Amino acid sequence: MRVIPAIDIIGGKCVRLSQGDYKTKKVYNEHPLEVALEFEAHGVQHIHLVDLDGAKAKHIVNYKVLEAIATKTNLKIDFGGGLKSNEDLKIAFDCGAGQITGGSIAVNDRDTFLGWLETYGAKRIILGADVKDERIAISGWQQESDKKLIPFVKDYQGKGIKYVICTDINKDGMLGGPALELYKRLLAQTMINKTAVSMSGIEDVKLPGISLIASGGIGNIADLPALKEIGCEGAILGKAIYENKISLKQLEQFILSV
């Protein structure tokens, strides 16, 4: 399982919110590159970089932060927040993103999002499925759509989406543990039925479908093996690191163990 620390950006600074509420903003470091370099020094290979200004403005804003981290580290960066146009996407990839996450656009502009998937492929386009009470939330979590989580994800799975980041907004930043039961149900509902030939003959088997990246609620190091156990491909964590609930040494040891 990939361990993916989050770096959320407002005004070029590393911040964290609670449950997506911009009023709860807390600045942890004025220099996100310093944070990224420290992660890399402790064995981290992937980060989730979120342009919170972009999410509000509905276009990419903090691409210079992305560019700085991409050029000065070897981290693989998933970038999200405010990506609404082909030009936004080009800027993100030109500035060094390895993958991008599309959430609101997958709800509001399906054709454009599917165009990105066709152009760049399933390895580079991640579906952002942020949920509040199992309904998809959009616009930096400021609005709740009429889309329900599992049908929403299954629909895009049928269009070729492989990677899905699912954030339970009610748990985000609260350090109370991830939404294990929600993730179990989502993984079970998106498994693929296959016919296989075994020693005993032909039988139906279920194979993993989506690569699910859990996000929100991780509060201690024990949450990571719990997510790995249920089949998550990755886990995004942020506040637990910044509030010293999980040390970078613990994170390093877990990365070495998986």
Residue with token string 């998550």: 232
DSSP 71: H
Neighbour-count burial of 66, counting CB atoms closer than 10 A to its CB (0-12 exposed, 13-18 middle, 19+ buried)? buried
Q: How far apart are CA 74 and CA 172, in angstroms?
A: 27
Q: At what angle do helices 149-158 and 180-189 cross, to 10 degrees?
A: 40
Which candidate in 8, 88, 168, 223 is catalytic?
8
- C-alpha distances (whole Å) from 39 to each of 33, 42, 102, 111, 219 are 10, 5, 24, 36, 18
R_g of the chain, CA atoms, integer Å: 18
Residue tagged 């279920």 (tokens) = 206
CA distance 158 to 13: 38
| Residue 94 is among the residues annotated as catalytic for this protein | no
Catalytic residue among 53, 88, 130, 172: 130
**β-pair partners for 18:** 21
Tell me the C-alpha distance between 193 and 190, whole Å: 9
What φ, ψ does residue 251 adopt, rounded to 5°? -65, -45
Distance in angstroms (rounded) separating the CA atoms of residues 39 and 15: 15
Catalytic residue flag (residue 130): yes
- Supply the residues annotated as catalytic: 8, 130
